[in-house]
Structure 1
Amino acid sequence: MRKLLLLFVAFHVSAICLAQVKVQYLQTENAVNPICIDALNPRFSWQLDAGDKRGVMQTAYELKVSSAKGKHEAWKTGKVSSDQSMYIIYKGEPLASGQKYIWQVRVWDNAGKASAWSEPASFGMGMLNAADWKAKWITPGFVEDSVNRPSPLFRKGFSLNKKVASAMVYITSHGLYEAQINGKRVGDAFLTPGWTTYNKRLQYQAYDVTGLLQPGANAVGATLGSGWYRGHIGFSNQKNYYGKDIALLLQLEVTYTDGSTETIVSDESWKSSTGPVRFAEIYAGATIDNRMQVKNWSTAAFDDKSWSGVMVKDYTKNTLVATVNEPVRKHETFKPVKIFKTPKGEEVIDFGQNLVGWVQMKVSGNAGDTIRLSHAEILDKPGNFYTDNLRAARAQDIYVLKGGGEETFEPQFTWQGFRYIKVEGYKKDLNAADFTAIALYSDMKPTGTFTSSNDMINKLQHNIQWGQKGNFLDVPTDCPQRDERLGWTGDAQVFSRTATYNMNVHNFFAKWLKDVAADQYKSGSVPHVIPDVLGNDKNESGGSTGWADVSVIVPWNMYVAYGDKQILENQYSSMKAWVKYMENHSKNDLWNTGGHFGDWLFYSVNDDTDGSSAITSKYLIAQCFFAHSTQLVINTAKVLGNKQDEDYYTALLARIKKAFVNEYVTPNGLISSDTQTAYVLALEFDMLPENLRQQASDRLANNIRRYGNHLTTGFLGTPYLCHVLSRFNHVDVAYRLLLQDTYPSWLYPVKMGATTIWERWDGIRPDGSLETPTMNSYNHYAYGAIGDWMYRVVAGIDTKEEGPGYKQIIIKPTPGGNMTNIEADYNTTYGKVSSHWKIDGGNLLMHVEIPANTTATVYIPAANATGITEKGVALSSAPGVTMANESATGYVAVNVGSGVYDFSTAKP
């Protein structure tokens, strides 16, 4: 028996030693097998799977790329000595439009062992030149109803007389589109082509439609909606912002099995008409009349002789770009949790979650029966359906039945933010089975989970995630329900780092940042919203501190989170232009001019005779952000190797900070605005001399106590509040703020039943009354920026800036707040990182997981290493664990490589 056991152990050890690292999760331009990119030199990334083996690093790689057609080898690197597994730039022969390529990679680990070649990955090239577009822009050939603007239908029949090997269709539009081939929907994306700065950048999408084609007769069609392009958008009832037209551009590329090709394009041979979508606007909703349904209109058998022709237009194709970000898709569905009548007698359905999307309804009735679905986020104090906070947004879908059986309705070319719907015109009792709420948002992959021993904190995390889902709908909107839904820059910048923990927002923000640069004014000022529908170069609507800084803060945050230097390269000119704008509008390096939103929606009281309102000087805030953006440009210049810029902005930063101290700080360290936000920004951005910082943080802590352990910060101070407190040894105060559940606090809305983050701390007041309806959103993610502190400090998952993208990981949990258990997992670009901690009796247990090809510094809360064990072994003897040079008060720091680690120490 003993011999058998020894043989088993020997075999097991041998198997581990011989185990090869596996290459997985291959990506091209941050996407798995993208079918359409237009990067001339795409970048390749992969992950290493080493199981639970410790300390595995890549030491070399070999990568090969070949064309799918003909198996021609386009590039082969040979063996390259490098630990780089992210963003390897293609350096082979020129890639061709419309072609598909296959690539594989293998690696060598630090034990000298080579992996097997990875499974093949693929990518397809889009239209690399405007001349590749053979399609023509077409518009309806009939006279449009200029008021309701019903959605036009376009169609064309065509024949395929050979066997099809593959087919791709490329589509874009002025307005929104949904396409069909042979009566079946093309793709599962919605609100395409998405929202960009249309006059400078218009995205197109590509779809593999091989399975939708058939031998012989076929048909292709598309329905269009006004969308952002010409629909009502912004505050002043404006429409036709980008143009009055609605137009389609479609190109179908067919490859036959014999190698020949055929192209079907939108041109003068197409036909046009209208169908059941009689009206569709983003704010107002949709009107769908099933009596106008055109059966089988996108099939080959349909007779379109009565349809109108189309008009060909010479609209530009030079602004067309392949889609970078994930499209909007359907996600979670919700059934009614309650059906009831309000005190006013309204029939209302509660779906239990404030979400963004629409309701699918099944109904039967007579031809002409009309049903209205109105949408609301909350009920008022008496319990009635409440829509005053939607302002001018009607947010109502109207359905007209054709009769003759059960009908299913969903709106098109619109969406709503809601938890409740009011149903009017329904001629029978409401049945929960007939109503389904469907969530829509950009198809970003979830990356992080955060759970704790505190149920209220778990609900807060839920609300943060749902605030992000609802407002990350192709652009980062401020709110999804009222007559706004714009890409407000301030909201995006304060939440951007939190966003990276919840979902993979790499491509989402990379796309949006290109529009930030495209819409930036010639002066360097940045608009309040992106895409900019509020101003122009002659009438700038921008330049507000903390909002315009999005042009610097978000690129840097994306670089830190994903290690993607190209984002900095792409945005660098924009980043410098904004800093130059501030510099140009400063006098003696003090920026105290211009209009600013300031610490938006900070704590205030109606009667401020006692000075309770936390009013912070807008120019003080501006000077802090002037410094912060300058610092980030310095950081970027270092990354990009621009020493001249680094020196210039370093000198500028010193002058900015000197001007701040001279203008706003007394010799004893009192800041002229004695508010939480003033101290938070001054400390977070290192505006104060070293000798004044601790006393400033003490003033901050005392201020919080003065307000009964409540925060008073607004949009700009809140994201950094707990970070500053924990950095300057007031983590106990930070925890008190996090766990506070009376107004104003993060948990107050949770206690009041919120399922998303509110725009205002007191959207619903303690007495049940509502804040002013002119600006009171119940799905506004900005205050959800506390999620960053929860991940980075409470759980302790972070990345070193010198090893961005979690190449060099920090695990530094911060127990406190009577929490007994925290579990945070985060899927980084290299793989899963876990940081779990648990108070078990008198011990603190830490579970840490580090992915292959990375290293980590783990900070264990303990006074010294004595008594710390790893999987029951003394720390000094634990395999793969070495003492680190770093130090932090109250922690023992160790260095580890990949693997799973379980530390135990006495409860701190």
Structure 2
Amino acid sequence: MTKLGHLLVEQLDRPGGLWTARPRFSWQITQTTDTDVIQTAYELEVERADEPGTALRTGRVESRESVLVELAGFEARSATTYRWRVRCWTNTSAEPTDWAESTFETTLLHPEDWHARWVVPEQTPVRKDGAANFQELFSLHIDTPPEDRLLPAPYLRQPFHLDEAPIRARLYATAHGIYQAEINGTPVSDELFAPGVESYHVHLSFQAYDVTDRLSAGQNVLGVVLSDGWYAGRVGILGASRNYGDTLKAIWQLELAFADGSTRTIVSDDSARSSTDGPIRYADLAVGEGYDARIDWDGWSRAGFDDSTWTPVVEVELEQSLVPFVGEPVRRVLEVPAIEIIRTPAGENVVDFGQVIAGRVRFRVRGDRGQTVRLEHSEVLDQHGNYFNNIVGPNKDQTDVYTLAGDPAGETWEPLFTFHGFRFARLTGFGADASAEDFVAVVTASDLPVIGEFACSDERLNRLHANVRWSQRGNFLSIPTDCPQRERYGWTGDLQVFAPTAATNMSVGPFLSRWLRIVRDDQLPDGRIMNISPNPPQLDYLMQGPPPSYDDPMMLLASSAGWGDAVAIAPLVLFEHFADRRVIEENYPAMVAWAQYQIDSATSGLPPRLVGSDLTPAERHRQSLLWNNEPNFGDWLAPSTLRGPEGSQMNAPRRTGEVFGSIYHGRLMDVMAEVAGILGHSEDAERYAARARGAREAFAVEYIDESGRIPGDLQGSYVIALACGFVPDRLRTLVVDNLVQLIHDAGDHLDTGFLSVAFLLDALWDNGQRELARTLLFQDTAPSWLYEVAQGATTIWEGWEAIAPDGTVTDLSFNHYAFGCVDDWLYRRVAGLQLEGPAYRESLVEPDVTGLLTSAAASIETPYGWLASRWTRSEHGRVELSVQVPPNTTSTIRIPDAVRNVRINDRAVGSPTERSLAVGSGTTTIVFDLADLDREEQ
């Protein structure tokens, strides 16, 4: 019996605040006794839940499509619940499956749906502080206590009376700042930090909440508490406040429906009252939160609370574009109990949670009324085992303060409006009876489903995989950030290199689609994509003054090769992994503008070394194909560039900038050609493909000499030249030999930075250097992935040697995901799961069964279902490989050349002449003996 399941709308399960009038539907064949199953047709029906019989029916559609299927002619209404169902026919049965059913509900889809007014509560405007620019960053010290520079949180409450309880109630809300809404004493949702990060001057997301069960007949109260958040708070590397404004505001609309068919709308207006006398005395995402439990406001959002001293809010007119929130919200996704309380050599008490996270601490405490306890957060201890603040800069306190009410039974508290990057918390004011059981780390992140699993026979690689996932979780909080403590910026370069890994580990489609909208919001009129998005106004000065150069020690760039390319690469990754064509359609105009900016810049400019030179027409034409005239970050944080007396992060851009700008420009043209082809823009596709060919030819002439040397002589330059196809066949062997020699010169260590590390192992693997690729993967001294693991890392570090080999602990971030892009290689090469068609409709399974491991297993929940491989190898060379392929997909299983005694699904086939086996859905088991176990190149 074949059954359907895993019904999704816009990649979400039963979404309650769907943001589009053109929803797309997905389903899986989740149960079948057949193999080689392919859907041949489907039938889809959608109807309004409140009007049975209004279904829009497709009838039988002859199609294999089951992922993000759009229903022609259907346009959803605002604030409406729909039921939908689907069935399909397959190649294994003439009868259709049973119907599978689900629901979805739209949010407010049109600006005219809003009738509420923005309201401003009582408050003092947020004070301006923090660094004004990067030069000031390193000299500015703020010693003022948080309670003296931060302000109390505004509380708002709006009482209203209902003659009867509604049968349906939906709250739509957002704020300038971040907010939590409550009704009758209960939060309306488990969502945190709503509305999330935005480029507020362009768009602002709003949330939709089902609050039907929160309301009753009689007196009711809607309450909202606000905090500075990303809008006015001290976020970013500069620690500057008032990024978008200095005054917190809110807007809400409560839509009610009753059993008799009547409706009522309650909106934010001047009937609400506000106060700043509540227990949250201050709250800032980076500085921390201060809470005074002596202020007993229990019931402030319930009827009967005395608000006679509160002040009426003020209605204001705002030009603010409101858009529905897209994707999964931020939630408390995990809890990590404390391992122990350490008494450090310095005599301090430090709680160790055993894992670096983004989040905060919930704790229990007993003490006298008015007693204050303090928790300071950090990711690492120093080399002596003492508490070490590795996050420097103004307003990076990461400190929470709680003043006790004095309850003899004890008190429990967790901050509401802050999160920190930490593993350790230094305790001040807690009594001697404090124990590890009193402390729990609460992990906060966008609530993205985990869809990828990997494990192998080497526990170090398993820890590396776990570290990558922890760093992804810690940095995918509302937007993809570089780190969850120091900057929390949406660096585009980090995401660009990590996107394939992100999409393999978690279902990131809606999450990244929302961020890409913000990237487009920030795009400059000339087409440039910003290095950081959202790009707060505090960084506007980067676009002022003279053009930047490689001589600028701060490298203050607004846009850069390899970083802005995220606007094209990320949508393509989402198409590849989730078959999302709409995301590339939405971003295509922005991609075109970014590509054209590069083309125009390359055509009109010259690299500084050639300015004033007398170039021939051929030389000038060659330069016009190379985007080498504008500074870029190059192979950022390549290890060797940071060493020695002149070590600096700027050495990599100086040495590799022209090379990386030129190659990434050609790579962008390749991506543009592919995207244009997918969308059917054939003329664009050919134009971009022709420019990519020209860029390759120009690069070979300009930058590769006859001995295969590339300027800068850093591993990364050779890696990306090989991986991106910029090396002519006649020079390939020489270039590979030079790369290999550089690796050997480094003691068989990597020397790659942000833009090349994702290609390192593949560049070796695809050019006959598999053993060397394995050597780098398993290297456990610095710099290497497993060096971090050997040092006890639980996340991915910003720098390869954030803890130096001599034990010195640096002030780098210990939670940066970019170098974790190797995780994608573990799935593809070690376990062998490789994507061949959109959403894995076609896949290739080719695990590395001849390497250093004796077993590996991986699984990915593709949009069609679980694709998995599991293999083991005995000491005598017998390999057992099991591959699970989801219905409605096909796969090719590839085994090594030299094998014998092959059995497929327990059927002997001897020694096959073909290495590849085409299979359909179901489980295929292959057993074979390796002809030898030599570690020769495969």
Q: TM-score range by the shorter chain?
A: over 0.9
* One-letter code aligned to 2:644: D
**Structure 1 equivalent of residue 3 of structure 2:** 22
**Equivalent residue for 1:492, pick from 491, 495, 519:** 495
**Equivalent residue for 1:641, pick from 669, 673, 680:** 680
Deviating more after overlay: 292-301 vs 347-356: 292-301
| Cα offsets for 1:803-852 (capped at 9, x unmatched) | 21101111111234420000101111110000111102321111100000
For 2:271 and 2:16, how far apart are their aligned partners in 1? 28
Which structure 2 residues correspond to residues 320-335 of structure 1 after superposition, within 5 A?
Answer: 320-335=322-337
| Cα offsets for 1:351-395 (capped at 9, x unmatched) | 111111000111122221111100011111121110043333011
**Equivalent residue for 1:199, pick from 187, 191, 201:** 201
Distance 1:537 1:810, change over 3 A: farther
- Establish whether residue 907 from structure 1 lines up as the match of residue 910 from structure 2: no
**Equivalent residue for 1:272, pick from 262, 271, 274:** 274
Aligned residue pairs, count: 870
For 1:616 and 1:789, how far apart are their aligned partners in 2? 27
What's the secondary structure of 1:904's corresponding residue? strand
**Equivalent residue for 1:607, pick from 634, 638, 644:** 644
* One-letter code aligned to 1:714: G
What's the secondary structure of 1:620's corresponding residue? helix
- Cα contact 2:343–2:349 (8 A) shared by 1: yes
What's the secondary structure of 2:839's corresponding residue? coil
Deviating more after overlay: 235-244 vs 363-372: 235-244
Distance 1:670 1:144, change over 3 A: closer
* One-letter code aligned to 1:366: D
- Establish whether residue 461 from structure 1 lines up as the match of residue 461 from structure 2: no
Distance 1:163 1:181, change over 3 A: closer
Which structure 2 residues correspond to residues 502-901 of structure 1 after superposition, within 5 A?
Answer: 502-533=505-536, 535-536=539-540, 539=543, 541-587=557-603, 588-604=624-640, 606-607=643-644, 616-771=655-810, 773=811, 776-800=812-836, 803-840=837-874, 841-863=876-898, 867-875=901-909, 892-901=915-924
- Cα contact 2:165–2:215 (8 A) shared by 1: no
* One-letter code aligned to 1:601: L
- Establish whether residue 294 from structure 1 lines up as the match of residue 294 from structure 2: no
Distance 1:467 1:38, change over 3 A: closer
What's the secondary structure of 1:805's corresponding residue? helix
**Structure 2 equivalent of residue 159 of structure 1:** 161
**Equivalent residue for 2:171, pick from 169, 172, 186:** 169
* One-letter code aligned to 1:831: G
| Cα offsets for 1:20-42 (capped at 9, x unmatched) | x2111111111111111231211
> Structure 1 residue 93: deviation in Å?
4.8
| Cα offsets for 1:767-802 (capped at 9, x unmatched) | 11123x3xx1111111101001111111111111xx
**Equivalent residue for 2:399, pick from 396, 399, 406:** 396
**Equivalent residue for 1:430, pick from 423, 431, 434:** 434
> Structure 1 residue 609: deviation in Å?
10
What's the secondary structure of 2:155's corresponding residue? strand
> Structure 1 residue 61: deviation in Å?
0.4
> Structure 1 residue 213: deviation in Å?
1.2
Distance 1:599 1:293, change over 3 A: farther
For 1:213 and 1:607, how far apart are their aligned partners in 2? 66
- Cα contact 1:41–1:91 (8 A) shared by 2: no
Which structure 2 residues correspond to residues 123-162 of structure 1 after superposition, within 5 A?
Answer: 123-141=104-122, 147-162=149-164
**Equivalent residue for 2:504, pick from 497, 501, 519:** 501
| Cα offsets for 1:278-304 (capped at 9, x unmatched) | 111111101111122312011112232
* One-letter code aligned to 2:805: P
Q: TM-score, normalised by structure 1?
A: 0.93
**Equivalent residue for 2:16, pick from 10, 35, 51:** 35
**Structure 1 equivalent of residue 247 of structure 2:** 245
- Cα contact 2:49–2:81 (8 A) shared by 1: yes
What's the secondary structure of 1:177's corresponding residue? strand
* One-letter code aligned to 2:46: V
Which structure 2 residues correspond to residues 186-265 of structure 1 after superposition, within 5 A?
Answer: 186-265=188-267
- Cα contact 1:676–1:713 (8 A) shared by 2: yes
For 1:127 and 1:202, how far apart are their aligned partners in 2? 14
| Cα offsets for 1:312-338 (capped at 9, x unmatched) | 111235x21111121111122122212
* One-letter code aligned to 2:266: I
For 1:611 and 1:470, how far apart are their aligned partners in 2? 27
What's the secondary structure of 1:96's corresponding residue? coil
For 2:116 and 2:680, how far apart are their aligned partners in 1? 43
Distance 1:168 1:904, change over 3 A: same
For 1:849 and 1:616, how far apart are their aligned partners in 2? 46
> Structure 1 residue 863: deviation in Å?
3.4
Which structure 2 residues correspond to residues 349-360 of structure 1 after superposition, within 5 A?
Answer: 349-360=351-362
- Cα contact 1:50–1:56 (8 A) shared by 2: no
| Cα offsets for 1:224-246 (capped at 9, x unmatched) | 11000111123334222212221
Distance 1:537 1:353, change over 3 A: closer
> Structure 1 residue 875: deviation in Å?
4.5
| Cα offsets for 1:175-221 (capped at 9, x unmatched) | 10111111011111101111122222211111111111122221111
Distance 1:759 1:183, change over 3 A: same
- Cα contact 1:793–1:812 (8 A) shared by 2: yes
**Structure 2 equivalent of residue 65 of structure 1:** 46
> Structure 1 residue 350: deviation in Å?
0.7
* One-letter code aligned to 1:572: Y
- Cα contact 1:378–1:385 (8 A) shared by 2: yes
For 1:753 and 1:132, how far apart are their aligned partners in 2? 53
> Structure 1 residue 138: deviation in Å?
0.8
Instruction: Calculate percent identity across the aligned residue pairs.
Output: 37
Distance 1:416 1:669, change over 3 A: same
- Establish whether residue 471 from structure 1 lines up as the match of residue 475 from structure 2: yes
- Cα contact 2:6–2:30 (8 A) shared by 1: no
For 1:448 and 1:93, how far apart are their aligned partners in 2? 33
* One-letter code aligned to 2:19: D
| Cα offsets for 1:466-512 (capped at 9, x unmatched) | 11111111111111122x11111111111111111111111111111
What's the secondary structure of 2:591's corresponding residue? helix
For 1:703 and 1:143, how far apart are their aligned partners in 2? 59
* One-letter code aligned to 1:473: L
CA RMSD, Structure 1 to Structure 2 (Å)? 2.1
**Structure 2 equivalent of residue 5 of structure 1:** none
For 1:289 and 1:834, how far apart are their aligned partners in 2? 52
What's the secondary structure of 2:901's corresponding residue? coil
* One-letter code aligned to 2:926: F
* One-letter code aligned to 1:825: S
- Cα contact 1:64–1:73 (8 A) shared by 2: no
For 1:564 and 1:172, how far apart are their aligned partners in 2? 28
**Structure 1 equivalent of residue 85 of structure 2:** 104
What's the secondary structure of 2:868's corresponding residue? strand
Which structure 2 residues correspond to residues 281-430 of structure 1 after superposition, within 5 A?
Answer: 281-317=284-320, 319-392=321-394, 393-405=396-408, 406-430=410-434
> Structure 1 residue 572: deviation in Å?
0.8
Distance 1:790 1:142, change over 3 A: closer
What's the secondary structure of 1:64's corresponding residue? strand
Distance 1:698 1:135, change over 3 A: same
- Cα contact 1:23–1:115 (8 A) shared by 2: no
For 2:736 and 2:54, how far apart are their aligned partners in 1? 61
Deviating more after overlay: 463-472 vs 811-820: 811-820
Deviating more after overlay: 238-247 vs 677-686: 238-247
